[in-house]
Amino acid sequence: MAHQCDICGKKPVLGNQVTHRGKAKYLGGVGTKITGITRRKFRPNLQRVHVTTANGTKKTMRVCTQCIRSGAVAKRIHRSPFKLPKTPAGQ
């Protein structure tokens, strides 16, 4: 599904865009007035991420940034880290 997080299911929500005009009272004006209210969408910040799934397969998912930052997604390991060779204890 478009614009939906594959992990938490976050998707766009509807809200209002409120337009103001005037100078605030604390700045010496007569106050701000609302001059228009229009509908808008709040869209989640989705990123395409290469993910390693639980069974070890790799796939691309659309994941929101909160899931990436919280660690809900394990990113794919491109290369295994360097490991020192095992040496016998007597040498």
**Cβ contacts of residue 45 below 8 Å, gap of 6+?**
64, 65
Distance CA 57, CA 10 (A): 24
Q: What is the mean pLDDT of the chain?
A: 89
pLDDT at 27: 96
Better-predicted residue by pLDDT, 5 or 76 = 5
Residue 80: pLDDT band (50, 70, 90) is: confident
> Hey, what domains does the chain have and what are their CATH numbers?
13-70 (2.30.170)
Q: pLDDT per residue over 17-49, tens digit each?
A: 999 999 999 999 999 999 999 999 999 999 999
pLDDT at 91: 61
